[in-house]
Amino acid sequence: MIDVIVAGGGPTGLVLAAELRLHDVRVVVLERDAEPMTAVRSLGLHARSIEVLDQRGLLERFLAHGTRHPVGGFFAGITAPAPQGLDTAHSYVLGIPQPVTDRLLAEHAVAAGVEVRRGCELVGLAQDDEGVSVELADGTALRSRFLVGCDGGRSTVRRLLGVGFPGEATRTETLLGEVQVGVAPETVAAVVTEVRRTRRWFGVGPVGDGLYRVVVPAEAPAADRTVPPTIEEVRERLRAVAGTDFGVHSPRWLSRFGDATRLAERYRTGRVLLAGDAAHVHPPVGGQGLNLGIQDAFNLGWKLAAEVNGWAPEGLLDSYHSERHPVAADVLANVRAQTELMSVEPGPQAVRALLTELMSIEEVNRLLTEKILAIGIRYDVGEGHELLGRRLRDVGLERGHLYGLMHAGRGLLLDRTGGLSVDGWADRVDHVVDGGDELDELDVPAALLRPDGHVVWVGEDRRGLDAGLLRWFGAPAMIDAA
């Protein structure tokens, strides 16, 4: 029997599968499309996703294919400088097209031992107390202990489960694509600058290889948004919105997306879970969608592996929903707010002007920036030290950097006292006795980190540490008498 079947081979599914393989879980990824996606729906990664890559030793290969951009101007496109002293070692946006992200994550997953089956569409499922039976479009069947639906906003897994997906249906639609233009770059830039004074949900800009990325509002939502627009439809909308079609021709790809905003009622139904767009959809304002899915997978991976491997404490797998569902709800709320602020109507424009003034206040700017970057998240792990529930940034240590010690996806006891131990949990948790100036600034004698980097205990008392280990890493293993 397969341990885990992941439906969907996009960024969420690939990150999840690779995380599971760190713990020797047998994973099969089922991807409906026979070939990788070429459409560039996402253009970059925010700080928390960059940290995720760094925690698993992947960042350097992504940096080699991307471009670092300054932080700022994310919230509804309001221009503002980056807040000073953001709590991250990666205070930049990594510009990288989604097909490149997909390819790098796929290479990492396959190298870790993930089996990716392309051209395999899941059409049916049934679960019992022992596992999940999956039916494929070609009539074959598979059996696994768990199934995770990472199969997008139109998730087949979510539909078959009957999980509610409340929210707002698509009201407006946007056409998107990469095309060649027939006018000078200076002309394109001048027209776009003028149009964006009032139509911020519009853009035509170079992406390399002589191509331009076009983003233009559609006249109305299409009856079937799975059918891509034609180049003539794009031309018509460019003329209507910008007064010119820029002579666009020879599209590399064209697509359309709506502004539906929905959140799954639950992320777990027995042995079946949901992650990424299968669990939440929203307009791409602020560029949070792909990042949110990657971070879902990072939260779920080690917990599901613990369940498969038999050491998960009670309630650990359910904490995936209790931690990530509120995060998605908060993202949907800020996207709704940003969408309103981008309206050309007088009321939203008045609110936008007021918020622009407020963002000159450092703490307001910091709060809104941290929402987009996802570095302000704090899970409910109990009361106490201000670090509890937060992920720890990549602090410098005497032996290097914290994230360099986390590539194996294990828990970590960061110990400055030298008097603690993880006896009984050494198969799941690493013990690092180390210090450093940055740890001095945090003023913590020792901290217990989960595999996703979130702090779940701070102190120097052995009894408190044991309670934290028991809660997050299950019962201790038998200690060898030798």
* Cα 448 from Cα 452, distance rounded (Å): 11
Which distant-in-sequence residues (6+ apart) come within 8 Å of 461 by Cβ? none
Q: Check if 2-167+262-373 and 396-473 are the same fold.
A: no
E strand or H helix at 293, and its extent?
helix 289-309
User: Which CATH topology does 396-473 take?
Assistant: Glutaredoxin (3.40.30)
- In the predicted structure, residue 169 carries a pLDDT above the cut 70: yes
Pick the CATH number of 173-259 from 3.40.50.1220, 3.40.50.11810, 3.30.70.2450, 3.30.70.1070: 3.30.70.2450
Q: 35-39, 219-223, 414-418: which has the highest mean pLDDT?
A: 414-418
Q: Give the tens place of pLDDT for each residue, 427-438.
A: 999 999 987 777
Q: Give the tens place of pLDDT for each residue, 347-402.
A: 999 999 999 999 999 999 999 999 999 999 999 999 999 999 999 999 988 888 99
What's the sign of the alpha-carbon dihedral 23, 27, 31, 34?
Answer: positive
Q: What is the pLDDT of residue 153?
A: 94
Pick the CATH number of 2-167+262-373 from 3.30.750.24, 3.50.50.60, 3.30.930.10, 3.20.20.70: 3.50.50.60
Angle between helices 319-341 and 346-358 (to 10 degrees): 110
pLDDT above 70: percentage of residues in the chain = 99
Any idea where the domains of the chain sit in the sequence?
Answer: 2-167+262-373, 173-259, 396-473
Task: Supply the pTM of this predicted model.
Answer: 0.94
Q: What is the DSSP string of 419-441?
A: ----TT-TTTEEEEE---HHHHH
- In the predicted structure, residue 284 carries a pLDDT above the cut 90: no
**Total Cβ atoms within 10 A of residue 224:** 7
Q: How confident is the model at residue 345 (pLDDT cuts 50, 70, 90)?
A: confident
Q: What is the pLDDT of residue 480?
A: 43
pLDDT above 90: percentage of residues in the chain = 80
| Cβ burial, residue 26 (10 Å; 0-12/13-18/19+) | middle
SS (H, E, C) 376-420: CCECCCCCCCCCCCEECCCCEECCEEHHHHCCCCCEEEEECCCCC
In the chain, the N- to C-terminal Cα span, in Å, equals: 36
Amino acid, res. 463:
R
Q: What is the pLDDT of residue 479?
A: 56
Q: What is the pLDDT of residue 428?
A: 97
- In the predicted structure, residue 90 carries a pLDDT above the cut 80: yes
Q: What is the pLDDT of residue 342?
A: 86
